[in-house]
């Protein structure tokens, strides 16, 4: 048995250390060089976007080395929509106006690739970007709201025959799920549980409560289902029945943003319904008692996965590294210092994957060894053991596709503590990005930025020839805001969706939740078998030989 790493009684109850459940530390002051770093981020942003405009305008992503484009998100110009809120935050009004004009030309009735549309990706990028921009620009551009209604009305066909849980992918040509005729398909709780901020905001802005009702019934079904650990939902879920599939639990991709939205929906709406934040508190408590592990080298703190056979898997991921910021935000809302401190500690381990990599950029997936072993579901090589002995982690997927999560948690850590080490780390990230990610590293006439095949290789292992839209929406926004006036997009005034599109929040309540980790009234859990889970955030230009993790 693994001993508890923190006093469980502190995790179980609130710790009254504030008069209100504010998240951001008051009186933050920036050092003199903050403007220099802020301008460096703007330069990266503009170079990246000008490359997109030159070679990929109107398409989803630019491929900066081959100087072409791809439409892996249905060809509606995902980058343009994801750029909107970051350009607004940076004060780049010409980009904002140009993008708004483009949005008016999008035809959301037609999907321009194979016709299969991701409900999750379209919600967080398009619906989130349109609605956040509508609000940030003073609700003056009705075309943004009109287009949000247009895309939501198509996505609503994901709910079939009054089902609680939507199907993850749709065929717009048939206004139906892109699944077999018997409607067998497994979704995951991130796909089905990361809708309430966007669909709820659409209801607030239009007065049509149907949108919120659809998202809320999926959210609540996940929350109320029997769970492998108290409050901690299984990753897989069946849209046909609404029941869990398998018993895999994780803070990583496929689960991550469901837990994120339990906290953020509570804060954005100031709902009096305590069940959401209480369910999150219960999941955190289960994490403390069952999943937290420290590495035998470096004493780094990680939250492990647990599979259907209840085996601890000593794995982590760039996607999971959002959890540092999530614990910080939720702990602040609960006035629970223990949870905040765990979040800060989780963030330290995630930053170590950057600090320990040759490029100064963290890998997509990693693993570690704890006192209870090193089981991951895969073998560990002598080279990985040697690397682990030096750094306290080893890479399992070494590519980097411009993900934001480590810098996202670093942003929350800065805004809540005021510790300038987080500014130093952000400055180091800028240096690493400018050294390793320019497309000109791989083709003399190329411009813009792309990913790396191997962040541990002294050469970078070659390029990932793609600039994901979340590079603009998330990574560069969080990096910019770390060096921006802390009162601009103050964490007590705004809540970010999982694509970092900010929504205005009401003043904080004195506290949230019951003060105890109260899981929903869940029945006994049993493992239900079903179709394989969908791929987690597949990267369009990562070599096919790069394996995606397969939860069991």
- What's the pLDDT tens digit per position in 159-187? 999 999 999 999 999 999 987 655 668 99
pLDDT higher for 17 or 47?
Answer: 47
62: three-class secondary structure by DSSP = strand
Given this model, what pLDDT does residue 516 score?
Answer: 84
How much of the chain, in percent, has pLDDT values that exceed 70? Answer: 92
Q: For 51-77, how does the pLDDT look when each residue is reduced to its tens digit (9 = 90+)?
A: 999 999 999 999 999 999 999 999 999
Q: For 87-97, how does the pLDDT look when each residue is reduced to its tens digit (9 = 90+)?
A: 999 999 999 99
23 pLDDT higher than 70: yes
- C-alpha distances (whole Å) from 481 to each of 248, 472, 474 are 35, 13, 10
Given this model, what pLDDT does residue 537 score?
Answer: 54
Range with lowest mean pLDDT among 15-19, 48-52, 154-158, 165-169:
15-19
102 pLDDT higher than 90: yes
Ramachandran angles phi, psi of 530, nearest 5°:
-160, -170
Average pLDDT in the 351-364 region? 98
- Residue 19's pLDDT band, with cuts at 50, 70 and 90, is low
10 pLDDT higher than 80: no
Given this model, what pLDDT does residue 182 score?
Answer: 54
Say which DSSP state 20 is in: S
Given this model, what pLDDT does residue 180 score?
Answer: 67
Say which DSSP state 361 is in: S
* CB 305, CB 252: distance < 8 Å: yes
Q: For 230-285, how does the pLDDT look when each residue is reduced to its tens digit (9 = 90+)?
A: 999 999 999 999 999 999 999 999 999 999 999 999 999 999 999 999 999 999 99
Range with lowest mean pLDDT among 169-183, 280-294, 419-433:
169-183
Average pLDDT in the 128-157 region? 98
CA-nearest of 498, 302, 329, 330 to 404 is 498
Average pLDDT in the 446-451 region? 98
551 pLDDT higher than 50: no
Distance between CA atoms of residues 253 and 540, nearest Å? 16
Given this model, what pLDDT does residue 299 score?
Answer: 98
Beta partners for residue 467, in sequence order: 62
Given this model, what pLDDT does residue 20 score?
Answer: 76
Q: For 521-546, how does the pLDDT look when each residue is reduced to its tens digit (9 = 90+)?
A: 777 888 888 766 666 555 655 543 33
Average pLDDT in the 214-237 region? 96
Average pLDDT in the 178-207 region? 90
Average pLDDT in the 286-313 region? 98
Beta partners for residue 303, in sequence order: 292
329 pLDDT higher than 70: yes
How does 432-465 read in b/e, with b if 16+ C-beta sit within 10 Å? bbeebbbbebeeeebbbbbbbbbbbeeebbebbb
Say which DSSP state 319 is in: G
- C-alpha distances (whole Å) from 393 to each of 283, 352, 373 are 25, 8, 13
Per the prediction, the chain carries an average pLDDT of: 92
Helix axes 256-269, 196-206, angle to 10 degrees: 30
- Residue 48's pLDDT band, with cuts at 50, 70 and 90, is very high
- Residue 517's pLDDT band, with cuts at 50, 70 and 90, is confident
* CB 268, CB 334: distance < 8 Å: no
Average pLDDT in the 408-430 region? 98
Angular region, 445: left φ>0, alpha ψ -120 to 50, beta rest: alpha
Query: What are the catalytic residues?
Result: 364
Given this model, what pLDDT does residue 6 score?
Answer: 44
349 pLDDT higher than 90: yes
457 pLDDT higher than 90: yes
């Amino acid at each position: 048995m693994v001993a508890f790493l923190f006093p469980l009684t502190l995790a179980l109850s609130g710790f009254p250390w504030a008069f209100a459940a504010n998240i951001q530390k008051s009186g933050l002051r920036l050092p003199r060089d903050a403007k220099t770093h802020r301008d460096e981020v703007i330069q990266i942003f503009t170079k990246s976007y000008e490359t997109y405009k030159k070679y990929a305008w109107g398409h989803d992503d630019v491929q900066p080395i081959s100087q072409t484009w791809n439409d892996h998100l249905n060809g509606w110009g995902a980058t343009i929509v994801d750029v909107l809120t970051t350009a607004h935050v940076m004060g780049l009004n010409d980009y904002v106006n140009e993008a708004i004009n483009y949005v008016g030309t999008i035809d959301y009735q037609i999907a321009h690739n194979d016709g299969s549309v991701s409900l999750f990706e379209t919600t967080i990028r398009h619906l989130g970007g349109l609605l956040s921009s509508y609000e940030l620009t003073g609700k003056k551009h009705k075309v943004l709201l009109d287009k949000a209604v247009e895309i939501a009305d198509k996505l609503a066909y994901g709910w079939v025959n009054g089902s609680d849980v939507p199907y993850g992918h749709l065929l717009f040509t048939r206004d139906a799920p892109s699944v077999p005729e018997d409607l067998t398909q497994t979704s995951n709780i991130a796909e089905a549980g990361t809708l309430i901020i966007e669909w709820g905001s659409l209801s607030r802005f239009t007065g049509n409560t149907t949108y919120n009702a659809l998202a809320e019934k999926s959210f609540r079904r996940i929350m109320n289902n029997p769970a492998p650990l108290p409050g901690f939902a299984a990753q897989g879920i069946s849209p046909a029945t609404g029941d869990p599939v398998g018993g895999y639990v994780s803070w990583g991709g496929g689960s991550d943003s469901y837990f994120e939205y339990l906290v953020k929906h509570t804060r954005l709406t100031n709902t009096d319904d305590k069940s959401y934040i209480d369910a999150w508190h219960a999941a955190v408590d289960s994490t403390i008692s069952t999943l937290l592990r420290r590495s035998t080298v470096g004493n780094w703190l990680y939250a492990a996965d647990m599979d259907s056979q209840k085996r601890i898997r000593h794995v982590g991921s760039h996607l999971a590294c959002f959890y540092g910021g999530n614990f910080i935000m939720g702990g602040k809302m609960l006035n629970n210092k223990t949870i905040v401190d765990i979040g800060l500690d989780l963030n330290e381990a995630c930053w170590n994957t950057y600090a320990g990599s040759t490029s100064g950029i963290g890998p997509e997936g990693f693993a570690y060894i704890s006192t209870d072993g090193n089981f991951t579901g895969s073998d560990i090589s002598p080279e990985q053991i040697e690397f682990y002995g030096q750094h306290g982690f080893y890479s399992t997927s070494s590519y980097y596709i411009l993900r934001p999560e480590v810098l996202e948690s670093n942003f929350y850590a800065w805004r809540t503590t005021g510790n300038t080490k987080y500014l130093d780390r952000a400055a180091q990230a800028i240096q690493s990005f400018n050294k390793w990610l320019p497309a000109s590293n791989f083709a003399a006439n190329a411009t813009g930025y792309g990913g790396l095949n191997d962040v541990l290789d002294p050469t970078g292992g070659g390029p990932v020839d793609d600039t994901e839209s979340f590079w603009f929406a998330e990574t560069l926004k969080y990096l910019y805001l770390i060096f921006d006036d802390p009162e601009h997009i103050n964490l007590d005034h705004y809540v970010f969706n999982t694509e970092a599109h900010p929504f205005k929040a009401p003043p904080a309540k004195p506290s949230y939740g019951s003060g105890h980790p109260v899981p929903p009234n869940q029945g006994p859990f049993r493992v239900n078998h079903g179709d394989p889970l969908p791929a987690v955030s597949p990267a369009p230009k990562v070599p096919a030989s790069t394996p995606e993790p397969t939860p069991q």
